[in-house]
Amino acid sequence: EVQLVESGGGLVQPGRSLKLSCAASGFTFSNYYMAWVRQAPKKGLEWVATISTSGSRTYYPDSVKGRFTISRDNAKSSLYLQMNSLKSEDTATYYCARRHSGYDWGQGVMVTVSS
């Protein structure tokens, strides 16, 4: 069974940093592109970042480019999202997702950016 378990969320002040982690199990992690997708409270889904199987290629929307960094450790079956210069509009539940024929999702972790 595919399992994606996010951690590292919490309350952080604007301008500060936070790093999310995602522990993957139930599949061969190194064979899949992975992504982060977020959902602001009562809002829709927004793609945040994607990383290739080896980690050599990363992709971001303009809204987070230059502030967020996606990375992975295939030996640990783990995905990460380093978030810098956080803004109030980054407040959301962040989902780790495995890309296959579609996306499988973790349960999500809440990030609140507020002073």
Partner 1 sequence: EIVLTQSPTTTAASPGEKVTITCLASSSVSNMYWYQQKSGASPKLLIYSTSSLASGVPDRFSGSGSGTSYSLTINTMEAEDAATYYCQQWSSNPLTFGSGTKLEIK
* Interface with partner 1 (CB under 8 A): 35, 44-47, 50, 59, 61-62, 95, 101-108
Shortest Cβ 79–partner 1 spacing (Å): 15
Smallest separation (angstroms) from partner 1 to the CB of 58: 12
As measured in angstroms, the least distance from the Cβ of 61 to partner 1 is 4
Nearer to partner 1, 2 or 11 (CB): 2
Smallest separation (angstroms) from partner 1 to the CB of 102: 4
As a whole number of angstroms, the distance between CA 114 and CA 6 comes to: 21
Closest to partner 1 by CB, 62 or 75: 62
Distance CA 81, CA 38 (A): 12
Helix (H), strand (E), coil (C) string for the chain: CCEEEEECCEEECCCCCEEEEEEEECCCHHHCCEEEEEECCCCCEEEEEEECCCCCCEECCCCCCCCEEEEEEHHHCEEEEEECCCCHHHCEEEEEEEECCCEEECCCEEEEECC
Which of residues 1 and 75 has its CB atom nearest to partner 1 in the complex? Answer: 1
**Nearer of residues 78 and 103 to partner 1, judged by Cβ:** 103
